[in-house]
Structures are given as C-alpha cells and as structure tokens.
C-alpha cells in the first residue's frame, strides 16, 4: 500500500501504520503529544492543537488502556470553522506499547506510552543503581516490543571504579542492551546519547524520580532553564515532571519524558520475561522436561547452571520472582474480566425480565 501520509513520517509514521489505518476518507490523522484530563494535545505536520474524545468512543471503550495515550495515532474530524480543535473517534492499532500494572491493588493495565521505538532506562550511578529494578524495566520494555537503551547518569559523582563495577554487573546478568554513561554537570556522554537519537524515531525516557531525566531532556531540547526541582547535597534531584509529553527535537527525533515511577508491577509479561532473560531461556531448552519450572525438577539445566556459577543466583531468583508476579496478576486479571462479563450478562438478563 502506498504511504499516503508520508508527510507524517517525521512524527513517527511508517508503512506499518499505513497498512492498518481504518480512518474515514474525510478524517484527519494526528499523534497524541499529551493527555490533560478530558482533553488531548495532538500533533500533526502543521503544529499542535487540542481535541476531545467523541462521546460514542467513550461509550464503547471503558478500560483505561483503551483510551489514547502519549504516542498514539488517532483519527479525528475538525470542527467546522475551527482548525484548532478536533473530535477523536478512532484509535489506530499500536505497533508497540509501554505498560505496567496499575499502581495499588487494581488489576488493570496502565498505558505509559505507545508506538515507541526505543525506551531509555535511566538510573543514577550515585544513588539509584539497582540491578533488580533494571531487569524489571527491561521486562516491561521488551514485553511491549520496543528496544531498550540503558543510561547511567551522574557518573561524575562516583569513583570511576564504581561505574566500571556497575557496568560489569549489568553485563554479568546477561543484559546486552547498549549502555551510555553520562554527567549532566560535565556533559560527558550527552553527545554519545545524541548520536543514538535518530530522525523520525520515538524514544521514551523512564526511571525513578531524581535520576536526571528531565535535566537531560531539557539539554537535548536546548533549554538550559530546567524544569526540575533543586538538587540536594547528595546529588539527588527532586523531579517535577507531572505529565508525559511527546517532544520533537531539533535533530528530528521524538522524545517522551515521564514522571518518576515508584511502582511498576508486571502483568501478563511472559514474552518480555523470556526476551529479557534470554540467557536463562536459552539454557532452559536443555532441561529434561519441556515444562520445567526450574524449581527442583531432575535434569534441570537452569539449576545446574546456577550451581556451577554460569548464572548468578540473584539473577535467577529475580527471574523467578518476576515470572511468579506476572502469572499471579495475569490470573487475577482474567478472573476480574470473567466477573465483569458475568455481571454484564446478569444486567442484560435483569433488563429483559423487567421489560418482559
């Protein structure tokens, strides 16, 4: 199919979307740059404008992950005589997604971003480095189909030997994603990161509060007036990003900043776990039983690799923990969906009885 929306390529459009677009001939196409309560900030080649969801769309879609999020492509119609406002009535299929289990006890997905090509996982060398958290982020990234980069910030605040040890720890866990170390003070590594940012590709920055995401993005944008809070004497900043927003850089890449995430549960992420722990997955193919759980079966190649030191015990135990968490929440999610469907059937039946 011919790419009829080629002028959108600079905003992340591709033939993949062209082959799946289901907009009406009279519809306009735009990308979601931000979500502000009941309004959307949309982006097209002419600039940005506001829009809202059509009532018919809201009537058909009740779950939060069915609603547009930053990075989505939408079909809309403009109000007659008002090109600065639109009504969205369709959401295009997502090529990739970045999602987590909703915070707290709610067993639902929460969308973080859509149609992201690369996710930059940011950790601080100084106070935030945590291999288990890094592995959790990698599962989330790979489960959604994006490619991960790892960015270690504030390298100037620690001894070079500590940075070297952290890099070795990442590689020893079987993580092969590209790694960049940087300093927002000395600007070391910032140029290396810029070289990774390709025109028309979308990059989402994720990490804990205070690791330097917004400072870095402001620097990439060319804004030296930072929108982050003060940095304490320990080097830990107070992150003030309060919403996700898609921003186009001068070089043509698109970046999404994120508020710091304190909690990000894994829900139904078996594919992401398999890709993130590819070393364990590869060894598991040699287990005696195809459905080996790696928890005590005879002939388990994974356990043998742990005992021999080929796989670190901490790496293996984190794999088991994430897999159990994913399976537990996925089962709870399936049970909730069944209860919702059963309740819906009950309401329909009750309405029929009342009418009858």
- At the top level of CATH, the class of 6-91 is mainly beta
pLDDT averaged over every residue in the chain: 80
| CA 262, chain centre distance (Å) | 14
pLDDT of residue 148: 94
pLDDT of residue 160: 92
pLDDT top residue among 317 and 161: 161
pLDDT of residue 87: 92
Tell me the mean pLDDT in the region 175-180: 92
Q: Report strand pairing: 28-36 vs 39-44.
A: antiparallel
Q: How far apart are CA 158 and CA 160, in angstroms?
A: 6
pLDDT of residue 341: 61
The topology under which CATH files domain 270-341 is Ribonucleotide Reductase Protein R1; domain 1 (1.10.40)
For the chain, give every domain's residue range: 6-91, 101-228+238-257, 270-341
DSSP single-letter state for residue 128: T
Dihedral angle of Cα 303, 304, 305, 306, to the nearest 10 degrees: 50
Burial classification of residue 307, based on how many CB atoms lie within 10 Å of its CB (0-12 exposed, 13-18 middle, 19 or more buried): exposed
Q: What is the pLDDT of residues 113-146, one digit of tens each?
A: 999 999 999 999 988 898 988 988 888 898 889 9
DSSP states along 134-159: HHHHHHHHHHTTPEEEEEEE-GGGS-
Q: Report strand pairing: 147-153 vs 118-124.
A: parallel
- Structure-token pair, residue 197: 């940012």
Of the pLDDT bands very low, low, confident and very high (cuts 50, 70, 90), residue 237 is very low
User: Contact 12/202 with Cβ under 8 angstroms?
Assistant: yes
Q: How far apart are CA 234 and CA 176, in angstroms?
A: 30
| Percent above pLDDT 70 for the chain | 76
Of the pLDDT bands very low, low, confident and very high (cuts 50, 70, 90), residue 233 is very low
Q: What is the pLDDT of residues 242-261, one digit of tens each?
A: 578 999 998 899 999 877 66
Contacts of 110 (CB under 8 A, 6+ apart): 64, 65, 99, 100, 101, 102, 103
- Tell me how many helices (H) and strands (E) the chain has: 10, 13
Tell me the mean pLDDT in the region 171-183: 90
pLDDT of residue 337: 58
Helix (H) / strand (E) containing 349 = helix 313-355
- Structure-token pair, residue 230: 């003060």
- Structure-token pair, residue 243: 């919403």
To 5 degrees, how large is the angle CA 49–CA 54–CA 56? Answer: 165
Q: What is the pLDDT of residues 196-232, one digit of tens each?
A: 899 999 999 998 877 888 888 888 887 654 444 333 3
User: Any idea which architecture 101-228+238-257 has in CATH?
Assistant: 3-Layer(aba) Sandwich (3.40)
Of the pLDDT bands very low, low, confident and very high (cuts 50, 70, 90), residue 178 is very high
Q: Report strand pairing: 73-79 vs 28-36.
A: antiparallel
Contacts of 325 (CB under 8 A, 6+ apart): 265, 266
Backbone angles phi, psi at 230, to 5 degrees: -65, 150
Helix (H) / strand (E) containing 132 = helix 131-143
To 5 degrees, how large is the angle CA 147–CA 239–CA 99? Answer: 35
User: Contact 310/320 with Cβ under 8 angstroms?
Assistant: no
């Amino acid at each position: 199919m011919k790419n009829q929306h080629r002028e959108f390529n600079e905003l992340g459009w591709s033939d993949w979307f062209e082959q799946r677009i289901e907009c009406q001939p009279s519809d306009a196409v735009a990308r979601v740059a931000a979500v502000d309560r009941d309004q959307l900030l949309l982006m097209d080649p002419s600039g940005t404008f506001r829009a809202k969801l059509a009532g018919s769309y809201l009537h058909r879609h009740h779950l939060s992950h069915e609603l547009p999020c930053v990075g989505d492509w939408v079909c809309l119609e403009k109000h007659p005589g008002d090109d600065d406002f639109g009504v969205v009535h369709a959401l295009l299929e997502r090529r990739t997604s970045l999602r987590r289990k909703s915070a707290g006890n709610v067993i639902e997905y929460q969308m973080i971003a859509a149609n992201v090509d690369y996710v930059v996982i940011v950790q601080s060398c100084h106070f935030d480095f945590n291999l288990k958290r890094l592995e959790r982020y990698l599962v989330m990234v790979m489960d959604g189909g994006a490619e991960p980069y790892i960015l270690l910030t504030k390298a100037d605040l620690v001894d070079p030997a500590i940075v070297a040890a952290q890099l070795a720890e990442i590689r020893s866990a079987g993580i092969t994603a590209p790694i960049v170390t940087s300093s927002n003070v000395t600007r070391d590594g910032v140029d290396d990161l810029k070289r990774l940012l390709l025109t028309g590709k979308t990059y989402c920055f994720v990490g804990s509060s205070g690791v330097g995401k917004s400072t870095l993005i402001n620097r990439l944008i060319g804004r030296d007036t930072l929108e982050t809070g003060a940095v304490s004497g320990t080097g830990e900043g107070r992150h003030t990003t309060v919403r996700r927003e898609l921003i186009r850089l001068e070089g043509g890449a698109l970046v999404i900043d994120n508020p710091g995430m304190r909690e990000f549960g894994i829900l139904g992420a078996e594919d992401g776990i398999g890709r993130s722990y590819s070393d364990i997955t590869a060894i598991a193919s040699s287990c005696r039983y195809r459905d080996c759980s790696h928890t005590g079966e005879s002939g388990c190649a994974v356990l043998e690799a742990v005992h021999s030191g080929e796989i670190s015990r901490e790496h293996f135990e984190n794999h088991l923990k994430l897999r159990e968490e994913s399976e537990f929440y996925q089962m709870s999610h399936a049970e909730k969906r069944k209860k919702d469907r059963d309740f819906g059937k009950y309401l329909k039946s009750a309405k029929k009885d009342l009418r009858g």
